[in-house]
Amino acid sequence: MQCLFSVFSNLQREALQSVWSGIRPGTKDGLPIIGEHPNYSGLFYARGHYRNGVLLAPATGKLVKELMIGKRASIPVLGLILPERIVYQEAL
């Protein structure tokens, strides 16, 4: 807080309104999980973006839509983000 007050000294006189803390869910390998679960048809994931979730939301939404309607995904790294890598890794 001292760093904040050194820049915005007037804030020191204000009452604290609220505090919030959240988690930024990420994966062990640092890549998001996007796609259909390999064992449960119709179960789609779009998670694990860590702090880039807000930034990647439009592209993730477009990709999930394409996958849900059976369209061939238009990104070359699709294999890196599919749920299979996590599901099969955990089974080993």
Provide DSSP, 23-34.
Answer: ---B-TTS--EE
Are the beta carbons of 21 and 4 closer than 8 angstroms?
no
> Which range, 3-7, 65-69, 74-78, is most confident?
65-69
CA 59 to chain centre: 11
**Could you tell me the pTM of the whole model?**
0.67
pLDDT, position 92? 47
pLDDT confidence tier of residue 90, bands split at 50, 70 and 90: low
Strand bridging mode 33-36 / 44-47: antiparallel
9-58 pLDDT per residue, tens: 888 888 888 877 777 888 888 899 999 999 999 999 999 999 888 899 99
pLDDT, position 60? 93
Query: In 13-91, where does DSSP find H-type helix?
Result: 53-68, 78-81, 84-91
